Homo-oligomer: A and B are copies of this chain.
Amino acid sequence: MLLVQAPGGIPVLTKGDDVAALITPALAALVWPDGTTGLAAGDVVVISSKIVSKAEGRMVAARDREDAITSQTVREVARRERADGTVLRIVENPLGLVMAAAGVDASNTPPGTVLLLPEDPDASARRIRRGLHARFGVNPGVLVTDTSGRPWRRGVADIAIGAAGVLVLEDLRGGVDGYGRPLTATVMAAADEVAAAAELVKGKAAGLPVAVVRGVARLVTDDDGPGARSLIRTPEEDLFRHGAD
């Protein structure tokens, strides 16, 4: 069984805050159906990039929003002028993520400011993992997530942009199907699926930036692993964007 909970009571974080320390009381207060509390081995702690960015001081003045987007643009994929004269840009940012406005965010930040993504979300995840390990005595997986659009389909969904101790790609190719034939083309984007599951309970408006996912211990590794950056496809291997941008 998969269980996902988003604890209340996470404070608003500001520059210099220790994310692991400040989310620990809320995580410790979680009560699970079996009566246990807090974190257990094999849990994945999923954290919205927004609070990580705030703790890491990634806030910049909002009148520089377009400059901020430009500063985070490695490559422009598409642009469209809105009815109000502003421009929507889909760009690849320094993390290799293709996102609207480079992932620069203007919601849930103080008026007059915008928030950049963490500079190295995999490093953020590793740091938070160490902090949680020190406090709980178990070594959970940690994901840092953000919300992103995607081609061909309406709506946005959460994806993993930082990871520590999580098998971000679950390779089933060694397995066989019910008829004994090898499974093909089945490297699951497990970290993105965990991010999506967590989003269903975290919610944007509800002030619940953290969720704990229990029941995917098979994805939690002792070492920190290569992180979410390994989810980025190189243009060469990306047939789906062939000729795309």
Which A positions have Cβ atoms within 8 angstroms of B?
Answer: 1-5, 12, 33-34, 77-80, 88, 90, 97-98, 100, 106-111, 147, 149-159, 168-170, 172, 175-179, 181, 183-190, 192-194, 196-197, 199-201, 204-205, 207, 215-216, 230-233, 237-245
Task: State the oligomeric state as a number of copies.
Answer: 2
Closest to A205 in B: B175
Q: Provide 13 A-B residue pairs closer than 8 Å at the C-beta atoms, listed in order of the A residue.
A: A4-B215, A98-B152, A106-B184, A149-B185, A149-B240, A150-B240, A151-B233, A153-B233, A175-B204, A193-B197, A193-B199, A194-B200, A196-B197
Q: In the complex, what distance in Å separates the CA atom of A194 from the CA atom of B169?
A: 19
User: Is A151 in contact with B240, judged by CB distance below 8 angstroms?
Assistant: yes
From B2, B188, B204, give the contact of A2 (CB < 8 A).
Answer: B2
User: Is A172 in contact with B2, judged by CB distance below 8 angstroms?
Assistant: no
Closest to A233 in B: B154
Q: In the complex, what distance in Å separates the CA atom of A43 from the CA atom of B175?
A: 31
User: Is A238 in contact with B151, judged by CB distance below 8 angstroms?
Assistant: yes
Q: How far is the CB of A215 from chain B (nearest CB, A)?
A: 7
Q: In the complex, what distance in Å separates the CA atom of A15 from the CA atom of B108?
A: 51
Q: Could you list 7 further interchain pairs (A-B, Cβ under 8 angstroms) beyond the known A78-B242, A150-B240?
A: A79-B239, A98-B240, A154-B189, A157-B193, A183-B205, A188-B199, A201-B215
User: Is A176 in contact with B205, judged by CB distance below 8 angstroms?
Assistant: yes
User: Is B192 in contact with A108, judged by CB distance below 8 angstroms?
Assistant: no
Choose among A152, A153, A172 the residue with the greatest number of B CB atoms under 10 Å from its CB.
Answer: A152
Tell me which residues across on chain B come within 8 A of A150, comparing CB atoms. 150-151, 240
Q: In the complex, what distance in Å separates the CA atom of A80 from the CA atom of B239?
A: 7
Q: In the complex, what distance in Å separates the CA atom of A169 from the CA atom of B155?
A: 6
Q: In the complex, what distance in Å separates the CA atom of A224 from the CA atom of B77?
A: 37
Q: Given the known A-B contacts A4-B1, A90-B239, are A151 and B244 also in contact in the complex, defined by CB atoms under 8 Å?
A: yes
Tell me which residues across on chain B come within 8 A of A186, comparing CB atoms. 107, 147, 156, 204
From B153, B215, B243, give the contact of A159 (CB < 8 A).
Answer: B153
Q: How far is the CB of A5 from chain B (nearest CB, A)?
A: 5
Q: How far is the CB of A196 from chain B (nearest CB, A)?
A: 4
Tell me which residues across on chain B come within 8 A of A151, comparing CB atoms. 98, 150-151, 233, 238, 240-241, 244
Q: In the complex, what distance in Å separates the CA atom of A29 from the CA atom of B181?
A: 30
Q: Given the known A-B contacts A12-B178, A241-B151, are A189 and B107 also in contact in the complex, defined by CB atoms under 8 Å?
A: no
